[in-house]
Amino acid sequence: PVDVREALTRTARADAARELLRWQEMVDVLRALDAAGIRPILLKGAALAYSVYPNASARPRADTDLIVRRDETAGVRGALEALGYAAQTACDGDLLFHQFQMVKVDRFGLHHAFDVHWKISTQTLFADALTYTELEAESVPLAALDPLARGAGTVHALLLACIHRVMHHGDADWLIWSYDIHLLASSLSDADRELFASLAIAKGVAAIAAHELARARSRFDTPGLDRITETLSQSSGESEPSAAYLTPHRRWHHDLASNMRGLPRWSDRIRLLREVMLPNRRYVLDAYGVAGRRWSRA
């Protein structure tokens, strides 16, 4: 119907306009980081928008994820602050979080957010599933974005797409994430499919990968997944602690318990509990909106 086509046209034009602003901001950030000697790897939505999607505005997203080395985080903060970004208030602690977010609003009123990771997840079981060194070794250029831009290689990007939903979002059933997996899986060669299966098994996430590939195939009829899904299903089982993340109605305390079990030393487990139960003063005041009140000191 005409009214539907017109509504879609307006939406597509607005998305394209926003993407132009987002693209320029990403280019500015990448060049600022390059000047500081930092070579980030783009992850998730931003990387996929400029690799497997026909045009970047077709991949909606709220932020730009990138990963750097741990010792580069101070340099990233400085480079982004020079561009007008400010850090979001968050709990501190090296065990609780492995990332921070920098945000700004541009002169058009568009909100820009960069999630800077030094590990891919705050969950102990997944934090080192893909390290910066591994991702960098197999990273690919994102020429459609900028000559400086690099994203995770297709096999790594697919593994990350499969585990992202369960490790941070309780296996939330968002269609866009299944479509990401469909596009990535469709672009794999036969050799890449074998490599992906071996990687998922080696990283202990075969059950999750099989689950996510099966969901994408059921919705989009993704080709070439029968054999790889069968291989992953046969290789997974109770021996994979990560399979617990597929349990329905999983809550935050389940994740905390998994994080505790995943830490090798009791001293680390106690430190994690302290970081959860006793966050820093600034976070508490801001999170509960009591900063500046007469009784906020108490």
Two tokens, residue 121: 């997840």
pLDDT above 90 covers a percentage of the chain that reads: 64
pLDDT one-digit tens code per residue, 160-174: 999 998 877 667 788
Predicted pLDDT of residue 238 = 59
Distance CA 130, CA 260 (A): 20
- Say if CB 240 and CB 206 are below 8 A apart: yes
- The pLDDT of residue 48 is 97
Taking alpha carbons only, the member of 264, 205, 263 closest to residue 232 is: 205
Mean pLDDT of 3-27: 96
* The Cα angle at residue 122 between residues 207 and 42, in degrees rounded to 5: 85
Average pLDDT, the chain: 89
Tens digit of each residue's pLDDT (9 = 90 or more) over 102-129: 999 999 999 999 999 999 988 888 888 9
Please name the amino acid found at residue 90.
A
Average pLDDT over residues 254-260: 77
pLDDT score, position 287: 78
- Reported as a single tens digit per residue, the pLDDT across 186-244 is 999 999 999 999 999 999 999 999 999 999 999 999 998 888 888 888 886 657 888 88
Query: Per mean pLDDT, which of 94-103, 120-129, 242-251 is the most reliable?
Result: 120-129
What is the model's pLDDT at position 257?
A: 77
Other CB atoms within 10 A of residue 218 CB:
10
